[in-house]
Amino acid sequence: MKVLLIEDDQETSAYVARGLREQGHVVDLAATGRDGLFLATEGGHDVLIVDRMLPGLDGIGLVQAFRGTGVKAPVLFLTALGGVGDRVRGLDAGGDDYLVKPFAFAELLARVNALARRPPLSDTPTVLQAGDLEMDLLGRTVTRGGKTIDLQPREFQLLAFLMRNLDRVVTRTMLLEAVWDFHFDPKTNIVESHISRLRSKLSQYGGAELIHTLRGSGYALRAPPPDDP
Amino acid sequence: MIRIVLPRLLRVASFRFAAFYVAVFAGSALVLGIAVFFEARSALQQQMTARIETEVTFLRVEFQSEGLAHLIDIVRKRGQGASALDYLVQDRTGAHLAGEVPATPGLTPGWTRIEVPQASEDGGRPERVRALVSDLGDGVLLAVGGDLQQVDNLEKAIATAFLWTIGLAAMLGIVGGVLLSRAFLRRVDAISRTAEAIIDGDLTRRVPTRGTGDDLDRLAGTLNHMLDRIGILMESLRQVSSDVAHDLRTPLTRLYQRLEGTRTHAQSMADYESAIDAATGEAQRLLDIFSALLRIAQVEGASPRSGFGDVDLSAVAETVADAYRPDAEEAGHALTATITQGVVVSGDKELLTQALANLVENALRHTPPGTRIDIRLEGSTETGARLSVEDDGPGVAETDLPHLTDRFYRGERSRTTPGNGLGLSLVSAVAELHGARLELDAVKPGLRVVLFFPAAEKSSHPNRQPSI
C-alpha cells in the first residue's frame, strides 16, 4: 500500500519509512506542511501519517486543509504532545487515529494496517465470522461450532474488535483504547488477563486456538485453515 | 538631589491631589473675597449717600426759611466741628461763599466727584470727594460730599486680608502636599526596592508593613501573600527539578554502565542481544517516568474546567472495576465494587479514569495476595460524590501518609515493588484540577484513599460525608 509520511524530524522519518518499506509498503516523504499538502492532494495514498508539529503549517491545519480539498484517506497523527484534550483536538480536526511519541514501530504498523483496511461505515457487517466462530453484533450472541458461548459485555467488545481486525495485528494499546477507552498505560496485565479469559471461553468446547499472541507487538485473531482438525 | 526629587514629587498622586485642593480652596476664597469686597463697598456708599441726602434736604430747608446768611453760618459751623462731610456754597458767579471745598467751576446739580487739594496732609495728594450738588435757587449752589478715602481704606483692608489668607493657605497646602507625597514616595520606594531585590533573586524579601491597616499596608500585605505563594511554588518546582535529576540519574547511569560494559565484555551475539533487550527495557522505564511527569505537569498546569464535561462517574468506576477484576483475581486479590448508579460530576473523563485506575493499581501492587480491595462510589450528582478505594492490606506507616502524593515518594514497604512513585502525585493533581478533596487514611489494617467531588456545577465546596 502507499503511505504518505509528513514528518519534519529526519530520524523519526527515516526510522518509520525504513520500517514501512521493509513491510513492502511504498512510502512518500514530506518534511514540511506545504510539501505534505502538495503530495496529499495529488492523491493515491492509502494512509497519511502526519506529525502534529510541523514547520510552515501545523498538522491540524494541514489535515483540515486537505480534508477541505476532498482527500479522504485515513490520517494517523504522530505527536510528542500527548496532552489533556490534545488527542480530541486532533481527532476533531479530521484525524482517524493518534499515536504519542515515542512509540514502538510495531504499534505504528498495527495502527496503519488497521486504518488502511477500515471498511466504510455503511459496509460494517452485523455478523462477523472467523472459521467456526460466529458473532452476531445486533443479537449480541457468540457461537462456536453452533454452541453458544456466554461472554461478559467487556469480553464481547474485546472479541468484536479482534474479529473486525481479522488476521491483523492489534496492539495492547489499541485494545485498551477501543475496549476500555483507557488512554494511558496501565502497569498491570489488564489486557493479558482479559485475553486469557476470552481464550478459555472460546475453547471451552474444544477447537483450535483463534487468538494468537505476537510477542512484542500484540494479538491477532486468525481463522484456522479449513482442513485443520 | 532636589533636581531629581522635585519632578518626581510633582508626579506623585498625593501631591497632585494636594495641589488640586489648594487651587480649589484659593479659587473659592478669591470668589468669596470679591463678593465681600463689593458688598462692603456698596453698603458704605449707600450709607454715605443717605447721610449726604439728609444733610442736603436739611440745608435746603434752612436756606429757604432763614436765607443765605444763615446757610453760610451753618456751613461754617459744620466746618469747624468734627463733621465727616465736606461742604461748598458758591454763588452764581462761581465765588466761594463757605465750606472747606474750594470753588469749583462748571458744577451742575447731581452727583459728581470733586478733587480737593490738600496742602499739608497726605503729602499734597488731593482728597477725592463724592458730592451731591444742588441748586438752592437764586444761583446758589450747595455741594455736600463724603470723603472717598474711608471707602478706599476699607477696600484695601479687605483685599489685604483675603490675599494673606489665600497665600498662607496655598503655602500650607503645598508644604502639606510635599510632606504627604514624600511619605507616600518613601513607602512606594520601599515596595519597589523589595521588588527589585526579588528580581535580583532574593525571594525571601518582603514588603515592610506598618501595621496601620491603611491602603498601602493592605497592598503590601497582599503582595507579601503573593510572594509567599510564589515562594512555595518555586520551592516545589525546585524540589521537582532535583527529584527529577535524582530519579532519572540513577536509571540513566545504569543504562550507560550496561551499554559500556557490553561494549567491553560482550563475547557473543547472544550477549549483545540480551544487553540490547536490557537497555531497551531501561529506556522504556525512563520514557514511562517522563510521560508520567509530563502528564502531571500538564494536569497541574491545565486551567480548571477547560475541556470539562459531564462525566458519568458511576460508569467510570464500573469500567475500571471491570478492567482490573480478572487481573486482581489472578493475583489472588478480591476486588469488590459498590457503585451508586447515575452519579455525574463535571470533569475530564480520561483523567478521572486514569486517577481511579492508578488508585486500584496501587492497591493491587502494594498488597499481598488475599487482600480485599473495595471500590466504593456514594453520593449523587446534586450533593457531590465520594469515591474511595480501600484495602485491608498492610497499610502505610503514619509517617509516610503526608508524603504519599509527593513525586517519586515511595514508602519503606514499597521500595521493592515496581513503580515510579508518581501514581498518587497524578491522582492528587487530578483531584486538585477537579476541585475534589483527596484524603488518605490509614484504616488499620490497610489504606483508604477517598476523593470528595463537589456537587456538579453548583458550589466548589467538596461535599463532606461521614466516613464509613
Output the pTM of the full model.
0.64
A45 neighbors A30 (Cβ within 8 angstroms): no
Question: For position B59, what pLDDT does the model report?
Answer: 87
* Interatomic CA distance for residues B387 and B443, integer angstroms: 16
Helix count and strand count (H, E) for chain B: 9, 12
Question: For position B6, what pLDDT does the model report?
Answer: 58
Å between B285 CA and nearest CA of chain A:
11
Question: For position B465, what pLDDT does the model report?
Answer: 38
User: Cβ contact (<8 Å) for A193 and B330?
Assistant: yes
Which residues of A fall within a CB distance of 8 Å from B323? 154, 180, 182, 186, 190, 194
In eight-state DSSP terms, residue A178 is I
Burial annotation A62-90 (CB, 10 A radius, 16+ → b, else e): bbebbbeeebebbbbbbbebbbbbbbebb
Å between B336 CA and nearest CA of chain A:
16
Q: Which of B47, B304, B40 is nearest to B157 (CA)?
A: B40
The neighbour count for residue B434, using CB atoms within 10 Å, is 26
Q: Is pLDDT at B171 greater than 90 in this prediction?
A: no
Using only C-alpha atoms, chain A has a radius of gyration, in whole angstroms, of 19
B326 neighbors B437 (Cβ within 8 angstroms): no
- Mean of the pLDDT values across residues A177-185? 87
User: Cβ contact (<8 Å) for B365 and A194?
Assistant: no
The CA distances from residue B206 to A90, A224, B230, in Å, are 46, 77, 12
Question: For position A4, what pLDDT does the model report?
Answer: 93
Q: Which of B322, B304, B306 is nearest to B314 (CA)?
A: B322
Question: For position B179, what pLDDT does the model report?
Answer: 84
Query: Which cell numbers hold the place of A212?
Result: 494468537
- Mean of the pLDDT values across residues B173-189? 83
Q: Which of B208, B434, B141 is nearest to B300 (CA)?
A: B434
A79 neighbors A50 (Cβ within 8 angstroms): no
B343 neighbors B313 (Cβ within 8 angstroms): yes
Provide the pairing of β-strand A47-51 with A75-79: parallel
* Interatomic CA distance for residues B378 and B384, integer angstroms: 9
Q: Which of B46, B139, B37, B149 is nearest to B94 (CA)?
A: B139
In eight-state DSSP terms, residue A148 is E
**Which amino acid is present at A13?**
S
pLDDT band at B334 (very low <50, low <70, confident <90, very high): very high
pLDDT digits (tens, 9 = 90+) for A14-46: 999 999 999 999 999 999 888 888 898 887 889
Query: Which cell numbers hold the place of B440?
Result: 488518605
User: Cβ contact (<8 Å) for A181 and B319?
Assistant: yes
Confirm or reject contact between A188 and chain B (CB < 8 A).
Answer: yes
DSSP lists the bridge partners of residue A78 as: A51, A99
Query: What is the residue whose three cell numbers read 426759611?
Result: B65
3-class SS of residue B131:
strand
Please give the helix or strand (H or E) that residue B367 lies within, else none: none
Question: For position B462, what pLDDT does the model report?
Answer: 40
Question: For position A84, what pLDDT does the model report?
Answer: 59
pLDDT digits (tens, 9 = 90+) for B389-409: 999 888 788 777 777 777 777
Residues of B with CB under 8 A from a CB of A: 287-288, 291, 294-295, 298-299, 302, 306-307, 319, 322-324, 326-327, 329-330, 348-351, 353-354, 357, 361, 364-365, 418-419
In eight-state DSSP terms, residue B359 is H
Backbone angles phi, psi at B363, to 5 degrees: -65, -40
Question: For position B374, what pLDDT does the model report?
Answer: 94
Q: Which of B433, B431, B452, B449 is nearest to B441 (CA)?
A: B449
User: Cβ contact (<8 Å) for A84 and B348?
Assistant: yes
pLDDT digits (tens, 9 = 90+) for B245-301: 777 888 888 888 888 988 888 889 998 998 888 888 888 888 888 888 878 877 877
- List the end-to-end C-alpha distance of chain A, in Å, as a whole number: 34
Question: For position B358, what pLDDT does the model report?
Answer: 92
Residues 6+ apart with CB under 8 A from B71: B59, B62, B63, B89, B98, B136, B140, B142
Q: Is pLDDT at B464 greater than 60 in this prediction?
A: no
3-class SS of residue B372:
strand
Question: For position B9, what pLDDT does the model report?
Answer: 67
The CA distances from residue B407 to A152, B232, B241, B244, B346, in Å, are 38, 16, 11, 9, 26
In eight-state DSSP terms, residue B434 is T
Q: Which of B368, B363, B370, B358 is nearest to B333 (CA)?
A: B370
